[in-house]
Homo-oligomer: A and B are copies of this chain.
Amino acid sequence: MRITYEEELSLVRGILLAADFPEDDAERIAQVIRHSDFTGVYSHGLSRLTRYMRQIAAGSLNPRPNFRKVLDSGAVMVFDGDNGSGIVSLCRAYDETLERARQFGIAMATGRRSANIGCGSYYGWRAAEDGMLALVCCNTYAFTSPFGGADRLIGTNPIVVGVPAGREYPLVLDMSTTNVAMGKIQAAEREGRAIPADWAKDRDGRPTEDPSRAFSLTPIAGHKGYGLAVMVDVLSTMLSGACFGTDIGLFTRLEKENTGFCLILIDPSRFMPLEAFQAEVDRYVRMMKDSRKAPGVDEIYLPGEIEYRKLKSMRESGLEVSDRLAAELTELAVGLGAAEAGSDLAGLVEKFRA
């Protein structure tokens, strides 16, 4: 079955409201989750809701956090997310950083007691829409090891960069610093497939092709990916007081993440008229796209272009929801009492059950 762009927003918002999230926060989270699904990043879409609810039940995710600014000094700020949703923390920090970047040309916010920030590219698109250049990174539950090591001490530590364009799609890079996410390995395990030797290492730090033995994820590009991940740790945790390494909660035990983020916004209009900057980005995009292609390549894409096109086409076609996910969401909505007759979700849940 399929749901529309509007339906996904209602669905997520309805579930979050029933789970005691304040209205504003439910709306923000719903937008980020929908962006994730509609750009094809299903791992951070609807499929995450059940985990969030389990985290709330375990007391490790706070639906009504006391979000506070704990440091405000010139062009830099620190926020404490009170173990609420990382999406809410980062969205709120974004709003204040945007004002500050307009004031100083560049501004930075870090966050502590944060959690999963959802679909990273969302923040890149949003900055691009606001005419801003954004650099975002965060640490996560620890799924990878230091280079040459065997313990899980470092997260998948994504890096996001967003750049506003004019007529072209904005440039949005959203990449983890590991070759794959844990979800891909779990999928291989479910399907009984071997995994490539550069995806993961076993408990002793040896490369493995057996998904059931996969323990730590392999960083991209060897020591370079490790180096990037270390710097993401530094930027995300040490300026905010967030946790790193063994201090991060354990994913498997649903513990509080206590992770952090770093957001830097740069205002290109301080350097030149925004239109002039955007025209240069457009010129760059055309230069790349119109250049010679390697054999078998039909088109050259810029970072984020594939996801942006997907968003456009999926807003037309709607989102395919698997039977398994539909059943999971129905259970969630019913369990939270969010699907009672007359509620926003009642119709959608009927659709799921049909």
Contact = CB atoms under 8 A, between A and B. Distances in A.
B264 A106 contact: yes
Nearest to A292: B150
Interface string A275-313: 001001100100110011111010111110000000000
A225 interface: yes
A149 B293 contact: yes
If over half of A's interface residues share one DSSP class (helix, strand or loop), that class is named, otherwise mixed; here it is mixed
Interface stretch (A61-69, A229-237, A335-343): A229-237
Interface string A134-158: 0000000000011111110100000
Nearest to A285: B230
Nearest to A73: B270
A266 B76 contact: yes
Contact of A292 (B76, B205, B302): B205
Interface of A: 71, 73-76, 78, 103-108, 110, 133, 145-151, 153, 159, 161, 163, 171, 173, 175, 179, 201, 204-206, 220-221, 223-228, 230-231, 233-235, 238-241, 244-246, 264, 266, 268, 270-272, 277, 280-281, 284, 287-288, 291-295, 297, 299-303
Given A175-B224, A244-B284, 20 more contacts: A71-B271, A73-B270, A74-B103, A76-B105, A76-B270, A106-B107, A133-B234, A145-B291, A146-B291, A146-B302, A148-B297, A148-B299, A161-B234, A171-B234, A220-B225, A221-B221, A234-B281, A238-B277, A239-B268, A246-B287
26 contacts: A76-B106, A106-B264, A133-B239, A145-B291, A146-B291, A148-B294, A148-B299, A148-B300, A148-B301, A149-B292, A149-B294, A150-B291, A153-B291, A163-B234, A175-B224, A179-B221, A205-B294, A205-B297, A206-B295, A220-B225, A221-B221, A221-B224, A226-B303, A234-B281, A239-B271, A246-B287
